[in-house]
Amino acid sequence: MSIKSLTPLEGRYGAITEPLEDYFSEWALIKYRIHVEVEWLITMASNPAFGEIREFTTEEIAFLRNIVNNFDETAALKIKEIERTTNHDVKAIEYFLRETLGTMSLSDILEFIHFACTSEDINNLSYALMLKHGIEKVWLPEAEKLIESVTTMAEEEKSIPMLAHTHGQSASPTTAGKELAVFVYRWNRQLKQLRSQEYLGKFNGAVGNFNAHSIAYPEIDWEAVSRTFVESLGLTFNPLTTQIESHDYVAETFHTLTRFNNILLDFDRDMWLYISLGYFKQKAVAGEVGSSTMPHKINPIDFENSEANLGLSDAILDHLANKLPISRLQRDLSDSSALRNIGTGIAHSLIAITYTLKGLRKTGVNREALAGDLNHAWEVLSEAVQTVMRKNGHANSYDKLKAITRGKGISEEDIKAFIKSVDLPEADKKRLLALTPAKYVGLAPELVNHIK
């Protein structure tokens, strides 16, 4: 972290985003490119159909893979130095490997480094692995922590009555836990889709037709070789592309992430409103300042911070999802610069998740405030009364309750007097007279079980 960092991702939020550096930095891109080049070399050497490249020894394979395993900043900077001459980032990888292997026992196979490859064969596989690993190893565990935290709250608070609000007005009561469970259920659907997401890869040359491949080795089943190689990397084989992999799966992934983000945004705003209503209270943290001039304040800044970062994340991911699947003819270079920002969109989402979790750790339900609001909202029982009346054949039940409750406050005595005045079966009348706003929560506590 540098105080002169251009963006808050490396500056203010650097401690949060640092784990993503192994997957989305320039260093990571170079490392993944070397990984793909090395594995392609090993794949060819392991296939007798490539008669001109010999089989590697166990030691040689270990040496090749250790170039990746031991890859460090010094090696990355060396490749960047080569790039200053080549003005081509993938060709710099090839020259680095030639130089690294040139004095070893592998000096006889140098011509097979980057054999039959276009740069996009290396790039698309690298980016697919970066995206897959970055999401699975960094973003997803944090998203799961968020869901686990809200799940715990939902289960603990599933029976705590709370006045609901539709259109900002008092509505039929619910429970605090059930309202939290709604978000858990929504998030889990998105994670289910994300976990089943395919990450596609292609390995078919300059325009996707295996042109050079089939001229050099016409007897090889190139589609089978390509499929086996791509799948060996843990990716899904795309058999039909132009020079570039079409990036549709990237759009799918980012659309899922933006849906997750938007559910989180909805959650942040609801938590902000619940805090504003006093339904949830924030814990005072020693040493923290809520306002520079108003000493009493504890502001919901963590949820606000999350909201801001979600907006940035959505803007970037939405742009990439819309831009990347579009490429002129067999390819243009605009995807190359755009792809370098995939980590930025994911980083802002990660920051948002982190701050929401931080806010949740300082927030708890305020039972007294919830009970107080419910006790001043006896009018919400009008729904229950008119529904039971309709069941028993009373005409214009809705209008009768509307006349005494719409836009008005109504007391416990008023609603009970009305119930007593209505001709109802004894069991129904008794049930309505025993009802309170706090008891009128329907199946809310049981509905929380859907998140288990």
- Residue 284: the pLDDT is 67
Neighbour count for residue 380 (Cβ, 10 Å): 19
- Residue 295: the pLDDT is 52
Among 146-150, 265-269, 380-384, the least confident range:
380-384
In the block, tokens 């339904």 appear at: 279
DSSP symbol at 298? -
CATH architecture, domain 135-160+175-200+241-366: Up-down Bundle (1.20)
Rounded to an integer, the average pLDDT of 216-228 is 98
Confidence of residue 298 (pLDDT cuts 50, 70, 90): confident
* Mean pLDDT over the full length of the chain: 95
**Cβ contacts of 200 within 8 Å, gap of 6 or more:** 128, 235, 236, 237, 238, 245, 246, 248, 249
- Residue 407: the pLDDT is 79
Burial environment of residue 369 by CB neighbours within 10 A (0 to 12, 13 to 18, 19 or more): middle
- Residue 77: the pLDDT is 97
Q: What is the DSSP string of 245-261?
A: ---HHHHHHHHHHHHHH
Q: Does domain 14-115 have CATH number 1.10.275.10?
A: yes
For the stretch 414-445, pLDDT in tens is 899 999 999 999 999 999 999 999 999 999 99
Residues classed as catalytic: 167, 291
- Residue 43: the pLDDT is 98
Higher pLDDT, 72 or 399: 72
- Residue 440: the pLDDT is 97
The shares of helix, strand and coil residues in the chain, as percent rounded to the nearest 5, are 65, 5, 30
Helix ranges (DSSP H) in 25-102: 26-45, 58-69, 73-86, 89-101
Confidence of residue 406 (pLDDT cuts 50, 70, 90): confident
- Residue 309: the pLDDT is 98
Residues 343/126, Cβ–Cβ less than 8 Å: no
Residue 42 has pLDDT above 70, yes or no: yes
What's the token pair of residue 207? Answer: 């325009």
Which CATH code fits 378-436? 1.10.40.30
Q: What is the DSSP string of 266-285?
A: HHHHHHHHHHHHTSEEEPPP
Residue 246 has pLDDT above 70, yes or no: yes
Ramachandran region of residue 116, left (φ > 0), alpha (ψ -120 to 50) or beta?
A: left
Among 268-272, 286-290, 320-324, 425-429, the least confident range:
286-290
Query: Across the strands, what pairs with 161?
Result: 175
Rounded to an integer, the average pLDDT of 70-83 is 97
HSE of 249, CA atoms in CB hemisphere, 13 A: 22
Among 185-194, 205-214, 289-298, 330-339, the least confident range:
289-298
Entry field: residues in the chain: 452
Segments making up each domain of the chain, as ranges: 14-115, 135-160+175-200+241-366, 378-436
What's the token pair of residue 49? Answer: 């159909």
SS3 for 358-410 is HHHHCEEECHHHHHHHHHCCHHHHHHHHHHHHHHCCCCCHHHHHHHHHCCCCC
125 vs 64, 66, 118, 172, 203, CA distance in Å?
Answer: 18, 19, 12, 53, 8
How do beta strands 169-175 and 161-166 pair? antiparallel
